[in-house]
Amino acid sequence: MEKFYDINKTALDFFQNQILKSKIAIDYLMKRKLNKDTVLKYQLGYAPNEWTALKDYLLSKGYNEDFIIRAGLAKRKEGKDSSYDTFRNRLVFPIVDSHNHVLGFSARSLDNSMPKYLNTSENIVFKKRELLFGYNIYKKEADRDKILLVEGNIDVMSLYQAGVNYAVANLGTAFTINQANLLKRNAKKIYICYDGDKAGKNATHKAIEILRSIDAKSNVVTLPEGLDPDDFIKKYGLAGFTAKLNEAKNSVEYEVSELMELYDVNDPESLLQLINEISNLLSKISDKIEREIYIDYISRVYSIDKSLLTNQVSKTKYVNKYKEKYTVPEVPKIKKLDIEIIDENLLIYALADIKYFKYINKEISIDNYSKVFKINMPLLKSKYEGNADIELDDFDIADKENALLEIDSIRKKSEESTYTNLKELLEKREKLKSKNYVSDLLSQISDGKGDAMELLKLIKKHRDNE
């Protein structure tokens, strides 16, 4: 591990030296109104717009090329022995732990190239799902009373510059349970302050759910639409941000207030949907006393009949608890996740070679994309269109080490064997897709909504194909 720390520190020295020579980096920092002290505090650097500048520097310091690649600082050219720098023409943010070890880097594009943020690839010391930007400074300087989760590295730095030294950011990816545990271990109060747009609100709800899954309570700082923490602190200053922090709602209050904006309490049908949504939310609170307090609070503040809400929460808890137990056995439950498992395998083939990507893309239309494809296919298209900065680490794949081994294995197999495997996977996918449709139709029929004749036709079709 020490070797990784050493090479990252050497790379950081290089990046920090380069930022002093870079007009584009200095102009960007001036535009974001980040002063010299803040830039030095977070040890920002610049990766020059050259193919091998960092690699050449590291080679001159005695590091061999293979290790530079293993550390995620260079990439091997496809099908060649030569390599090139991972980060080029990017503002570089070092990710540093509480012991001052440089674990890796998060680098922002300065020329609108994608991805906007590029991280060090996963290795023995850099595991981005477990890391937070600014965590080292939080550990050294904050009082541990509270911690503030924001989306961007610049948000963290602007807040610090204004006097908020307890902000951290997840590394340009979705908030994870590992990061949630880090927050829970280190602060009495957790605040979430994401951007004030729709995407920010969606990310806030997801973060709340992850924190709730580990019994960590959270509070939400709401910003005006169109503003992120960086914009807000510059416009309203520390006093304005402190006021917003003091107005923060706990996660339950926040989610209920968001629901209230979606429904009309004067319309009976809308009110019923609202009560169902609130009941589903409150049923997730494990502590009975806490749940009762929220029922009482919501019924008073929003003029919802308390007994009605209490009954619905109890019913929801009962239904959720015994849902599987009382599932009608005659209705087969096909896991839709099965298709996603197949698509994860197909994605590995698509990553192995552009010809397999084209074959899969031709066989599966966008309308039939699973979640796996919706997330990864646009990125894969960009990669094959010439975006060299996109690497395996940028894809939403759970086990990347295993994926690398599988990709290598596929590349060593004959094309004939590979296409045979692909056809089998695609046929299996199509059958599962049809079975899922049948399962859905059976459920609808049991509720009195489905078309029985269509179901019979589908069953006959399946028998003919078996």
Sheet holding 117-119, edge to edge: 45-47, 90-96, 102-109, 117-119
pLDDT recorded at residue 106: 95
DSSP letter assigned to residue 248:
P
pLDDT recorded at residue 413: 85
CB 99 within 8 A of CB 90: no
pLDDT in tens, 391-405: 777 788 867 767 777
DSSP letter assigned to residue 151:
S
CB 344 within 8 A of CB 396: no
pLDDT recorded at residue 8: 98
CB 242 within 8 A of CB 159: no
Distance between the two ends of the chain, CA-based, in angstroms? Answer: 54
Instruction: Using the structure block, give the residue that is written with the tokens 């399946």.
Output: 462
Percent of the chain with pLDDT over 70: 87
Residue 288: what residue type? K
Considering only CA atoms, which of 180, 80, 427 is closest in space to residue 192?
180
pLDDT recorded at residue 447: 47
* Strand, coil or helix: 132: coil
**1-126 classified as CATH 3.90.980.10:** yes
pLDDT in tens, 76-109: 876 667 899 999 999 999 999 999 999 999 999 9
pLDDT in tens, 26-62: 999 999 999 999 999 999 999 999 999 999 999 999 9
CB 128 within 8 A of CB 119: yes
pTM, whole model, 2 decimals?
A: 0.70
DSSP letter assigned to residue 130:
G
Domains of the chain, residue spans: 1-126, 135-253, 339-464
CB 207 within 8 A of CB 173: no
- H/E element holding 190? strand 189-192
Cα–Cα distance for residue pair 404/118, rounded to 1 Å: 19
> Left if phi > 0, otherwise alpha if psi is -120 to 50, otherwise beta: which for 121?
beta
Neighbours of 87 (CB within 10 A): 27
Instruction: Note the CATH architecture for domain 135-253.
Output: 3-Layer(aba) Sandwich (3.40)
Residue 248: what residue type? A
Series of mean pLDDT values for 10-residue runs along the chain (466 residues): 96 97 96 97 97 98 95 83 92 96 96 86 90 96 93 97 97 86 95 91 93 94 94 97 97 94 88 91 89 94 90 81 47 52 88 91 84 86 77 76 79 88 88 62 47 51 50
